[in-house]
């Protein structure tokens, strides 16, 4: 693990738990009872009750008598109580959400409120990738489009080379993006892979023929093909602070907006190798400027201003050296190279 990212050691579990519990401060405007409604997120509810929403695990009571006690549904009733003088949130089901019919059970799980707004992160849950150079260089690729299409898109066909494994019958198409670089060490952390479409193999061979069942933008010669990933990324997780005192940087903003605000998706230079998990919350800081002191009378005297708190970020998808996070709160404009730190 890079030394520059690990600023402190892990507290002993019991001691850390004591500190977190002692640090829980309620939102002054918290309700004593709340009925969950459709459209709520776990972050919204946590911020409703707590000054620091990432301390949710410290107050949430896991009721062993409730089916899926970590999932919250519209209609559920949350009640604030005190146990040994410490706040605790307890939940009772507002109406039955689990049925013996398996089909109903699956549907009810999907109705559980998400941790963060799904509309903001849905395209990045399964399609967006961070890959190494070899993964893209060795992948099959689009060599031509079938027919005389000016723009190749959905319902068109393309020819691809390098598809040797006939057990893979559906491919996602990706466009190689720019590199992710650690701004402090210049380490290459991976490459952005931009999802552009999906389609089944209609005919194997060299080249193979692929039917484009779905596209998000024009398919181009040189786009790379990876076996379609049907797995899903968890959308129900608890916001919590990392156990370690970590520091990283925002290295990219997805979709290339010039200034980063609430509900923008960003990439940070911390990943699973640093112990990053979905649900980890970081404070965002703007680095304080170094200015010339014109009052001291000293020649070339300068002073670095303190870093400024600029917002909060929650990680929702992790890779080895990079993670995607959603800006949950922005108190000022956030930019690439701003710092993220354990709150």
Question: Per DSSP, what are the bridge partners of residue 268?
Answer: 250, 323
Residue where a domain terminates, one of 162, 193, 227: 227
The CATH number for 256's domain is: 2.40.30
Kindly state whether residue 235 falls inside one of the protein's structural domains: no
Q: What's the confidence (pLDDT) of residue 125?
A: 75
State how far the Cα of 115 lies from the Cα of 275, in Å rounded to an integer: 20
131 and 156 in a single domain? The answer is: yes
Cis status, amide bond into 117, omega within 30 of 0: no
Kindly state whether residue 317 falls inside one of the protein's structural domains: yes
Kindly state whether residue 311 falls inside one of the protein's structural domains: yes
CA dist 160 → 172, 211, 285 (Å):
12, 11, 45
Residue of 60 and 177 predicted with greater confidence: 60
33 and 76 in a single domain? The answer is: yes
Kindly state whether residue 236 falls inside one of the protein's structural domains: no
Rounded to two decimals, what is the model's pTM?
0.81
- First and final CA of the chain: distance in angstroms? 20
Owning domain of residue 323 = 247-341
> How sure is the predictor about 198, in pLDDT bands with cuts at 50, 70 and 90?
very high
251 and 214 in a single domain? The answer is: no
175, pLDDT greater than 70: yes
Residue of 166 and 257 predicted with greater confidence: 166
Q: What's the confidence (pLDDT) of residue 15?
A: 36
78 and 140 in a single domain? The answer is: no
Q: What's the confidence (pLDDT) of residue 147?
A: 84
Residues 6+ apart with CB under 8 A from 254: 124, 128, 264, 265, 266, 267, 324
Q: Which residue, 264, 282, 260, is CA-closest to 335?
A: 260
Average pLDDT over the chain, rounded to whole?
86
Determine whether 228 is exposed, middle or buried from the number of CB atoms within 10 Å of its CB (0-12, 13-18, 19+): middle
Q: What's the confidence (pLDDT) of residue 2?
A: 53
Residue of 184 and 65 predicted with greater confidence: 184
Report percent pLDDT > 90 for the chain.
66
Q: Kindly state the average pLDDT of the residues 114-136.
A: 84
221 and 251 in a single domain? The answer is: no
Q: Which of 102-116, 178-192, 217-231 has the highest mean pLDDT?
A: 178-192
Residue where a domain terminates, one of 95, 117, 139: 117
251 and 287 in a single domain? The answer is: yes
Residue 34 DSSP symbol: E
Residue where a domain terminates, one of 96, 117, 138: 117
Q: What's the confidence (pLDDT) of residue 194?
A: 87
340 touches 249 (CB < 8 A): yes
Q: What's the confidence (pLDDT) of residue 64?
A: 79
216 and 314 in a single domain? The answer is: no
The pLDDT tens digits for 201-231 are: 999 999 999 999 999 889 999 999 999 877 6
22, pLDDT greater than 50: no
Q: Kindly state the average pLDDT of the residues 181-189.
A: 95
Residues 6+ apart with CB under 8 A from 242: 275, 276, 277, 280, 282, 342
Report percent pLDDT > 70 for the chain.
87
Residue of 258 and 99 predicted with greater confidence: 258
Q: What's the confidence (pLDDT) of residue 338?
A: 95
Q: How many domains does the chain have?
A: 3
Pick left, alpha or beta for residue 321 (phi over 0 → left; psi -120 to 50 → alpha; otherwise beta): alpha
Kindly state whether residue 240 falls inside one of the protein's structural domains: no
Kindly state whether residue 37 falls inside one of the protein's structural domains: yes
């Amino acid at each position: 693990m890079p030394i520059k990212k690990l600023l402190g050691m892990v507290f002993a579990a019991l001691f850390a738990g004591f500190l977190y519990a002692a640090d829980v401060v309620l939102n002054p405007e918290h309700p004593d009872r709340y009925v969950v409604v459709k459209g709520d997120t776990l972050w919204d509810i946590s911020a409703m009750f707590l000054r620091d929403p990432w301390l949710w695990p410290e107050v949430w009571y896991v009721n062993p008598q409730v089916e899926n006690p970590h999932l919250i549904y519209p209609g559920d009733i949350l009640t604030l109580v005190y146990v040994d003088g410490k706040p605790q949130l307890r939940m009772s089901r507002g109406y039955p959400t689990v049925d013996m019919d398996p089909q109903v059970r699956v549907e009810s799980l999907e109705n559980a409120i998400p941790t963060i707004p799904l509309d903001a992160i849905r395209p990045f849950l399964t399609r967006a990738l961070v890959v190494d150079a070899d993964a893209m260089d060795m992948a099959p690729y689009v060599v031509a489009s079938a027919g005389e299409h000016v723009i190749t898109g959905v319902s068109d066909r393309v020819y691809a080379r390098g598809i040797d494994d006939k057990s893979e019958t559906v491919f996602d198409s990706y466009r190689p993006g720019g590199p992710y670089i650690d701004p402090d060490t210049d380490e290459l952390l991976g490459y952005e892979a931009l999802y552009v479409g999906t389609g089944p193999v209609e005919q194997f061979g060299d080249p193979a023929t692929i039917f484009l069942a779905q596209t998000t933008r024009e398919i181009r010669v040189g786009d790379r093909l990876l076996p379609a990933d049907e797995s899903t990324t968890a959308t129900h997780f608890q916001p919590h602070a990392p156990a370690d005192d970590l520091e990283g940087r925002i290295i990219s903003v997805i979709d290339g907006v010039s200034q980063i605000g609430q509900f923008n998706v960003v990439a940070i230079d911390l990943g699973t190798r640093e112990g990053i998990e979905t649900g980890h919350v970081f404070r965002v800081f703007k680095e304080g400027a170094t200015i010339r002191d014109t009052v001291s009378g000293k020649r070339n005297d300068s002073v670095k201003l303190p870093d400024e708190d600029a917002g909060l970020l929650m990680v929702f998808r992790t890779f080895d050296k990079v993670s995607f996070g959603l800006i949950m709160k922005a108190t000022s404009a956030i930019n690439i190279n701003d710092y993220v730190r354990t709150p």
